[in-house]
Amino acid sequence: MTVAIFLGALLGAMALGMPIAFALLVCGVALMWHLDMVDAQILAQNLINGADSFPLLAVPFFMLAGEIMNVGGLSRRIVNLALTLVGHVRGGLGYVTILAAVLMAALSGSAVADTAALAALLLPMMKAAGHDEARAGGLIASAGIIAPIIPPSIGFVIFGVAANVSIGKLFMAGIVPGLLLAVAIAITWWWVARNENVTPPKPATRAEKLAAFKKSTWALFLPVIVLVGLKMGVFTPTEAAVVAAMYALFVATVVYRELSLAQLPAVFISAAKTTSIIMFLVAAAMVSAWLITVANLPAELTRMLEPLLDSPTLLLIVIMLITIAVGTAMDMTPTILILTPVLMPVVKAAGIDPVYFGVLFIINNAIGLITPPVGTVLNVVAGVGRMKMDAVTRGVLPFMLAQFAVMFLLVLFPQIVLVPLRWFY
């Protein structure tokens, strides 16, 4: 009965067109009513406590770093470097997109920010070169969702807070899976674009490559500073976010000089707007999470999945399929916040490593950003590239299937995540 009220209130509020954050609050009130403990003070207290978290400070600073990099020229230099390195091979612009996405993912951790930059910079070039518009848009969308996997990742920060799991370990565990997703996209691009009659640009000279590398050196230092600092214990993930934002601000204003003081207010406001949406979602979800615990929903779910507890692989497959279904209708952040408190007790009861599960869960939610009908990243590509949504959806399908294949490969072979984690951390 409790599960039915939880899902009914949440889905009912969403069906009425209510924003996710308010739907979560309605869901919390419905649970309070069912438990006969309706109290506005409990609602307000948990709403405030939900956002009162030091690790969550990483979110606004990583968002700010992403905004600064896009406006301050760091993203453009990364794309330029990728263009000089692999732009000349057959289908080179596609590989440029993938390489640039990986490098940018190590800078910001925001799928939306990275995808918007890639679409603005590379989609016109790919269309002008003669690549199929839908296929190019699908490639950019699928490459953009590498950002929540490769550290620093906003998705890992939110999951780490919701699940009480080490964010530093999540960051390190995401490196190899993120690179595997990039390899899967590259192989798929080679397959789907092999018959396109597109003349690649001329190979860059050694001087042009060196010049591009020199111009992007300051940008490339950012992920090195963050990862080395985390591995050596110099700073926490939250402090790493502050370092990333300050470093990006210094490079954009002092070194590259593409970000003026007059532009700063607009950059701060843009980052603040995005942050406020995420933080309100987190705060509202914590109300539901507290009531989920009080209502003992995780124990009910554990009883339902008890036959699968002895088979962790089968349990993970079922959880991944559930998450895929939810991801088609819901954005990444609310999915993480709603499912994490429900699933984590089941995962722990089955003896599954929480960090390993977190990587799989975030990969699944990242792919959810390109699954129709919601597909936030698909909407970004369609909006920036002025394309029809159905064209981007058609173009992204082969890349999305390749990424799902990687995810289930990680389900079957956990060592792919756990062995590198032991080395990195």
Can you give the chain as a three-state secondary structure string?
Answer: CHHHHHHHHHHHHHHCCCCHHHHHHHHHHHHHHHCCCCCHHHHHHHHHHHHCCCHHHHHHHHHHHHHHHHHCCHHHHHHHHHHHHHCCCCCHHHHHHHHHHHHHHCCCCCHHHHHHHHHHHHHHHHHHHCCCHHHHHHHHHHHHCCCCCCCCCHHHHHHHHHHCCCHHHHHHHCHHHHHHHHHHHHHHHHHHCCCCCCCCCCCCCHHHHHHHHHHHHHHHHHHHHHHHHHHCCCCCHHHHHHHHHHHHHHHHHHHCCCCCCCCHHHHHHHHHHHHHHHHHHHHHHHHHHHHHHHCCHHHHHHHHCHHHCCCHHHHHHHHHHHHHHHHCCCCHHHHHHHHHHHHHHHHHHCCCCHHHHHHHHHHHHHHHHHCCCCCHHHHHHHHHHCCCHHHHHHHHHHHHHHHHHHHHHHHHCCHHHHHHHHHHC
pLDDT of residue 3: 66
pLDDT of residue 183: 96
pLDDT of residue 139: 94
| Domain spans, the chain | 39-424
pLDDT of residue 41: 78
The rounded average pLDDT for each run of 10 residues, N- to C-terminus, in the chain (425 residues) is 73 78 80 77 77 78 84 84 81 86 83 85 84 90 92 89 89 93 94 78 83 88 82 80 90 89 90 83 76 70 77 91 83 84 88 94 93 81 85 92 95 92 78
pLDDT of residue 1: 66
The pTM of the full predicted model, rounded to 2 decimals, is: 0.84
